[in-house]
Amino acid sequence: MKLAIVTGSCGLIGSETCKRLHAEGTAVIGIDNDMRSYFFGAEASTSKSRDTLESLPLYRHESVDIRDWGEVTRVFKKYGFATGAVIHTAAQPSHDWAAREPLTDFGVNAVGTMHLLEATRLHCPDAVFIFTSTNKVYGDTPNRLPLVETETRWEIAEDHPYFTKGIDESMSIDDSKHSIFGASKVAADVMVQEYGRYFGMKTGVFRGGCLTGPAHAGAELHGFLAYLMKCTVTGKPYSIFGYKGKQVRDNIHSHDLVDAFWHFLKAPRSGEVYNIGGSRHSNCSMLEAIKLCEEISGKKLDWSYKEDNRIGDHIWYVSDVSKFQQHYPEWHYKYDLRRTLEEIHAACIASL
């Protein structure tokens, strides 16, 4: 593959994707206009990441807003049929922020995705199109599962089919409360599938759990583990919202997710959907994550509890990744939870 277009190129997953493709000898066109700083403030800016990427000889940057059809078209016309892949990681990623500006959220997540799909169809229809979706497309349906409270976490009943591996792709995305963010991602998710099934394009939807890693610019409204470790290291107060702090998330390191992208790029399918997260290999509750951050950092977190859980928040979510593993048996995890947090801790210390 000679050339790839990566949206959200300066974010956590986008930057990891750019570096991996570059290492594989692929020229990368990065699309990113640092809207993360608009969403979450200056501390969440991706400008430093852009500086790092622009030092790579095969990287070229386009500061484009994916809501701007004219600008998206310009980029795709420019590179046209030379483009072998479009990896779409740009997004407004926060539940809470989406409710503040629903039009902006839908514009970025849904309309922006539509622009990229159509530009791909018109100018590089043979390119592989990868979309970074989310487990929030299932809305609050996971909260109806039979859950059991333990000392440190909520856990699914041992006799339930999801206990061994987690939640698979057969779970319905209908008849649930998604949050505004979840709904905009549903629209994009389904459209990516449709361009694969209707137009025969090589599209893959990756419904991520918590995506994390040392390059994450964690903020209070997004970036669970990165922000948690930042607060532990710096002494900044941290708030837990609802479910007694026992809500469970699975966490996948950006390296492992991008490695999954790479396997799909080498043997793409059309209109495929995968749940992709830490699975049973890497998951934790809030309380368990706090304990691990404190162990690694040697510091105590200053945290408080608020009874109100976030709308559409999951009590327990663990991804069943077995479908992807069946399709791509050479893909394996490299990072478990502790190793991931140790890297995040090292990055926090380095940034002080």
- Give mean pLDDT, residues 77-81: 94
Q: Which residue has the tokens 């800016």?
A: 45
Mean pLDDT confidence for 117-133? 98
Q: How far is CA 46 from CA 42, 50, 51, 108, in A?
A: 9, 6, 9, 17
User: Rounded mean pLDDT of 128-148?
Assistant: 97
Alpha helices in the chain (DSSP H): 12-23, 35-40, 47-53, 69-79, 95-100, 102-106, 112-123, 179-199, 224-234, 254-266, 286-297, 322-327, 337-351
Whether pLDDT at 123 is above 80? yes
- Burial level of 98, CB count in 10 A (0-12/13-18/19+)? buried
Q: Stretch 300-325: mean pLDDT, rounded?
A: 92
Q: Which pLDDT score is estimated for 244?
A: 95
Overall pTM > 0.85:
yes
How many alpha carbons lie under 13 Å from residue 346 in its C-beta half-sphere? 9
What is the mean predicted confidence (pLDDT) over 304-320?
Answer: 89
Distance separating alpha carbons of residues 183 and 181, to the nearest angstrom = 5
pLDDT tens string 251-285? 999 999 999 999 999 999 999 999 999 999 999 99
The mean-pLDDT minimum among 43-57, 65-79, 122-136 falls in: 43-57
Q: What is the pLDDT of residue 157?
A: 98
What confidence tier does 53 reach under pLDDT thresholds 50, 70, 90? very high
- Round to whole Å and give the CA distance between 225 and 212: 7
pLDDT of 109 over the 90 cut: yes
Total number of residues shown for the chain: 352
> What pLDDT was estimated at residue 220?
66
CA distances from 251 to 132, 156, 227 (A): 15, 17, 14
What pLDDT, on a 0 to 100 scale, did the predictor assign at position 222? 64
Q: Please report which helix (H) or strand (E) contains residue 29, including its range.
A: strand 27-31
Mean pLDDT of 325-337: 98
H-helix or E-strand containing 283? strand 283-285
Predicted pLDDT at 218 = 66
Sign of the four-CA dihedral 152, 252, 229, 305: negative
pLDDT at 285: 97
Handedness of CA 130, 223, 154, 98 (dihedral sign): negative
**Predicted confidence band of residue 311 (pLDDT cuts 50, 70, 90):** confident
323, 275 Cβ separation under 8 angstroms: yes
Q: Which residue has the tokens 């200053």?
A: 302
User: Which residue has tokens 């949050």?
Assistant: 179
Strand partners, 149: 154
- pLDDT at residue 79 greater than cutoff 60: yes
Task: Note the pLDDT tens digit of each residue in 184-221.
Answer: 999 999 999 999 999 999 999 999 999 999 887 766 65
Task: Give 246-259 pLDDT, tens digit per residue.
Answer: 999 999 999 999 99
What is the rounded CA–CA span in Å between residue 339 and residue 345? Answer: 10
Quick one: average pLDDT of 84-108? Answer: 96
Residues 6+ apart with CB under 8 A from 186: 137, 173, 178
pLDDT at 308: 83
Average pLDDT over residues 90-94: 94
Q: Quickly state the pLDDT bin for 133 (edges 50, 70, 90).
A: very high
Q: Cβ distance 205 to 321 under 8 Å?
A: no
Q: What is the DSSP string of 42-62?
A: GGG--HHHHHHHTTSTTEEEE
CA neighbours closer than 13 Å in the CB half-sphere of residue 97: 20
Residue with tokens 């998330």: 249
Strands 154-156 and 147-149: antiparallel
**Confidence bin at 183 (pLDDT 50/70/90):** very high
Mean pLDDT of the chain: 95
